Amino acid sequence: MKVLVIEDNQDIAASIRDYLETLHYAVDVARDGMTGLNLAISYAYSVIILDLGLPDIDGIDICHRLRHDAHQPVPVLMLTARDSLESKLEGFESGADDYLVKPFSLKELAARIKVLSERIGRRPEPRLQIADLTLDVTTHEVCRAGKRMDLSPSLFRILMYLMRNPHRVIAKEELEHAVWQNHPPGSDALRTHLFNLRQLVDRPFDQPLLHTVRGFGVMISDRNAED
């Protein structure tokens, strides 16, 4: 089972990781909100442990973007030092499934992760759709106008990231980071991949869905856009 910990406090993050690893979980740690959000959107985690107070975007915002923009059903356990009813309610409103107030016991955290992954872990991911293009996150099936297409793992991850962020211009760096983290296979790799993706997804069809916004990045949309 794979768990993502989004926590800027190094000591807390390390102790959670060490403890969960003794229980044979695979653990990824993100030290800021943007990295955490990118990982959460790009990979399938069983549970996400999310700190409320982060240096860039806060936990509420991340949870909201995961649920409402990216349609990610992954269970989220929110961590916070703010022991007030208000912040709890805010957390649940943004789509968190559970809540733990710092300081907490690692044993309790592990117990809650287990419950969450069993109760909600098999929640089916919705099929992502833009116009007549669909992507099934679970079966990895990508179809346009009912025609199935075969995508390499990298192309699939690029398309999935774009489809989870529709109608938003994604900067080259953000997309590279989402697909390859800090290790893009080459400076021109993304451009080549986007070219190949276009050949498959757009070329045989009348309506282009992938749009390059010069100087800014790339966007998937079925609304009119600069191309």
Sites of contact with Ca ion (CB under 5 A): 8, 51, 53
10 vs 207 by CB, closer to Ca ion: 10
* Both structure tokens of 61: 């915002």
Q: Please, what is the minimum distance in Å from the beta carbon of residue 154 to Ca ion?
A: 33
Long-range contacts from 92-101, C-beta under 8 angstroms, 24+ separation: 94/60, 94/61, 94/63, 94/64, 94/67, 95/63, 95/64, 95/66, 95/67, 95/68, 96/50, 96/59, 96/63
51 vs 174 by CB, closer to Ca ion: 51
What SS3 class is residue 47?
A: strand
* Both structure tokens of 213: 């916004």
d(CA 50, CA 89): 15
Query: In this chain, which residue has its C-beta nearest to Ca ion?
Result: 53
Q: Please, what is the minimum distance in Å from the beta carbon of residue 51 to Ca ion?
A: 4
Secondary structure element (H or E) that encloses residue 133, with its range: strand 133-135
Q: Please, what is the minimum distance in Å from the beta carbon of residue 156 to Ca ion?
A: 33
Q: Please, what is the minimum distance in Å from the beta carbon of residue 90 to Ca ion?
A: 16
